[in-house]
Copies of this chain bind each other. A is one copy, B any other.
Amino acid sequence: MTTALRVAHDECSALDLSPSDATSKVNLLGEHLRALRATGTRQHFGRNEQIFGEGDPADRVCMIVSGTVRLCRHTASGRRHISDFAAAGDLIGFGERPHQSHAAEAVTPVIVTTYRRSNLEQLAGANPKVRSSLCSLLAANLFAAQRQLCVLGCQNAKERLASFLLHLADRMQTQAGELLNLPMGRLDIADHLGLTIETVCRAIAALKADRIVLVPTAHQLILSNVVALRALAQGV
């Protein structure tokens, strides 16, 4: 994730989607983590199972091998907010704080490799490249959070959904016209976009009516008019 997103926003001329930022994360850390591979523990989680909880001691980090994970918080009044979704290749549970700021839950069946945080830090201490990769990861997460902040602060329901779909297609490296998998349910999308499940449904229905997306099944989409989707996401 270098300038990928800037390009996607500022120079949105091409018909196909811009290069993924998820990939660079993988490349950055993946190869260096080989040194840790022996110390990692592989774990499986079923749908909706918790990988770690909000407030858990942050002594472990997880590299997602497969599946989709939601990173969420619960407010005192019981409302839920999903900060982000993580997929294969993403490292989660990594922060500077002694406790996890988010819970991680399996949206689909998930396989992760868990490392002791101390091992990772040891590796970072010894290997400057790992260290800078971790820093880049933080920076990438920060940038993603700020982008989402702008989405929630400035956009209406339809625009938020458009932004979300484009971002998802980007991460999944799905080209325009291809089948885009939606691993998460409508409620997850709603809690991520600061909307209700009904509003998400209506926004999807509206995009469908406008022939901007096709909806073969509830968990599969085809972005049939990416230009219009981009225009929406930019509020034009």
In-complex Cβ contact of A141 among B9, B83, B135, B142 (8 A): B142
Instruction: Using CB atoms, name the residue of chain B closest to A98.
Output: B3
Q: How far is the CB of A153 from chain B (nearest CB, A)?
A: 4
Q: Which chain B residue has the least Cβ–Cβ distance from A12? A: B76
Encode contact with B along A52-73: 1 for CB under 8 Å, 0 otherwise: 0001000000000000000001
Q: Which of A31-39, A144-152, A173-181, A202-210 contacts B (4 or more CB under 8 A)?
A: A144-152
A63-93 at interface with B (beta carbon < 8 Å): 73, 75-77, 79-81, 83
B3 and A97: CB pair below 8 A? yes
So how many copies of this chain end up in the complex? 2
Give bound CA distance, A10 to B76, whole Å: 8
What is the bound-complex CA distance between A193 and B152, given in angstroms? 9
Name the distance in Å between A75's Cβ and chain B's nearest Cβ.
Answer: 6
Q: Which residues of A contact B (CB under 8 A)?
A: 2-3, 6, 9-10, 55, 73, 75-77, 79-81, 83, 95-99, 101-102, 131, 134-136, 138-143, 145-146, 148-150, 152-154, 191-194, 234-236
10 A–B contact pairs at CB < 8 A? A76-B234, A79-B235, A81-B149, A96-B139, A135-B135, A138-B138, A138-B142, A145-B149, A153-B191, A154-B194
Given contacts A3-B97, A145-B149, A148-B149, 20 further A-B contacts (CB under 8 A): A3-B98, A6-B99, A10-B55, A73-B150, A75-B234, A76-B236, A81-B149, A81-B150, A95-B143, A101-B143, A102-B146, A131-B131, A138-B139, A141-B142, A142-B145, A149-B149, A152-B153, A152-B194, A153-B193, A153-B194
